[in-house]
Amino acid sequence: ELNTEEFNRRHLYFQDAIKRAAYLNSFPAAPHSAKYGINQFSDLSLNEFRDLYLRASADKAPPYSGEKREG
Amino acid sequence: LPAKFDWRDEGVLAPVQNQQACGSCWAFSVVEAIQAAHARAGSPLEQLSVQQVLDCSFRNQGCSGGSTVWALSWLNQTRVKLVPQSEYPYKAKTGICHFFSQSHGGVALKDFAAHDFSGQEEAMMGQLVSCGPLAVTVDAISWQDYLGGIIQHHCSSQHANHAILLIGYDTTGDIPYWILQNTWGTKWGNEGYAYVKIGGNICGKYDPCWFIYM
């Protein structure tokens, strides 16, 4: 149902995902190491993925001291 | 500490959820941690409303993003009761906050604590075992292409951008790893879960980390 322009854009993102996976899989891998490849996010650009799914703020917190809290 | 531990074995976790095209990870992470704490306190496991947190936690931006610590602070200060998911279902879009009377049933947060566990993996394991699943933030930029296995590279410890639930660890194999429950459905990763190597603060997994008391 995509128009040609949208289809071509998604196709490019998909090709980018294949290149990214090849790069990520190229590192020396120990047994049970992570594998990267095609999944449900492969037709999203990096920016689209970030904008849609990586929306948590990084907050500051005090270092864990091991002390028990009262109350 | 046990060599391995997994809260999935204890019946306090709901199945893997799917946040869909909505930046609601922060709300899922908080609600799932509260569900687990509530179940650990002896109540039947009940799925609570993520949509309620998404719509009503006013310092956050709904599907446009938010902070787990702000959501927890809001729950702590207002004593709002989280109602069951069935009464306030998830819609994957920000909506108008629905109010419920104080007499309406639900689960209220009693207290919470936020900590940075950088370089204190054993302490974090201890908190995980004794306190329950932990809401944590990670750098998940490389998770777009993740298919499964133990993540050992490709994420920084400096740019946390995704909230998830830390539910266990396993140190019995060659590569010790954390077990994380994500909210991208069961087709992603290891049937919805990610494994991250223990050591070196990979993905900034304990920088910072929140755990929840009920």
The SS3 call for residue B197 is strand
Enclosing H/E stretch for B101: none
Best of A53, A60, A65, A68 to substitute, by most chain B Cβ atoms within 10 angstroms, is: A53
Contact residues on chain B for A54, CB-CB shorter than 8 A: 23, 25, 140-141, 161-162
Please report, in tens digits, the pLDDT of each residue of chain A (71 residues total).
Answer: 679 999 999 999 999 999 999 999 988 777 789 999 999 999 999 999 999 999 999 888 888 887 665 54
Residue pointed to by tokens 């290891």 = B190
The pLDDT, as a whole number, for residue B200 is 65
The pLDDT, as a whole number, for residue A71 is 44
- How far does CA B54 lie from the centroid of its chain? 14
With CA atoms as reference, the chain A residue closest to B25 would be A56
Phi-psi region of B199 (alpha: psi -120 to 50; beta: other; left: phi over 0): left
List residues in chain A touching B: CB distance below 8 A: 17, 20-21, 24, 27, 30-37, 39-42, 44, 46, 49-64, 66, 69, 71
